[in-house]
Structure 1
């Protein structure tokens, strides 16, 4: 899932995946132009906290992750109304390197695949 600092950035990206949304807790519908205007207004009048970010699902749904984990889904994609949306944000696995030889290692492995060093 992609992360964004502003709602406008999230909507611009989501518009590459979807062309219409519905508000998650009401019957309001939005097209790209309407959601872009709403996002611009929201960003200028009520910016999010520094620990928060927006996420965009593969189908274009837009959510707000206020605590860095729990996702409050705001706009659901009309392209995939039954999309299985996660309730929390999982950070992408970090790339790790062997401290002995510097080779790239697969996350959650115990030994380096190049030199055999215990990780």
Structure 2
């Protein structure tokens, strides 16, 4: 699973993996364009906390980790409807997220490999 600091970034990645999603707690369905608009609106109106991340499963489902461990699945990719998605995110302690660009970096890194931001 990949991690992202905004729902829009997570949705952009998810659209490269799947073509249709359902909202986790309803029958509302989203095509890529609708998911991207919803994600952008959500980020503008209700950004996540500094300690939270969005995760995208290998099949394109999107979840929110408010404590960087437990996953609250928000959008389920149609291709993963009948699969059991994980309840927790285990990063293994060897990686973390750059606060500047959202890229995963090694836990002991001092600078982000993607954007060069200081991680200290």
TM over 0.5: same fold?
yes
TM-score w.r.t. the length of structure 1 is 0.76
Q: Which residue of 2 aligns with 1:80?
A: 80
Distance in 1, Cα, partners of 2:94 & 2:44: 33
Q: Which residue of 2 aligns with 1:25?
A: 25
TM-score w.r.t. the length of structure 2 is 0.76
> Contact (CA 8 Å) 1:59, 1:83: kept in 2 or not?
no
Q: Which residue of 2 aligns with 1:113?
A: none
Q: Unpaired runs of 5+ in structure 2?
A: 96-120
> Contact (CA 8 Å) 1:65, 1:71: kept in 2 or not?
yes
Q: Unpaired runs of 5+ in structure 1?
A: 96-119
Distance in 2, Cα, partners of 1:18 & 1:92: 26
Q: Which residue of 2 aligns with 1:59?
A: 59
CA-to-aligned-CA distance 1:24-74 (integer Å, 9 cap, x gap): 000100000000000000000000000000000011000000011110000
Q: Which residue of 2 aligns with 1:5?
A: 5
Distance in 2, Cα, partners of 1:2 & 1:92: 13
Aligned length: 95
Q: For the aligned residues, what is the CA RMSD?
A: 1.3
Q: Which runs of 4+ in 1 moved over 6 A?
A: none
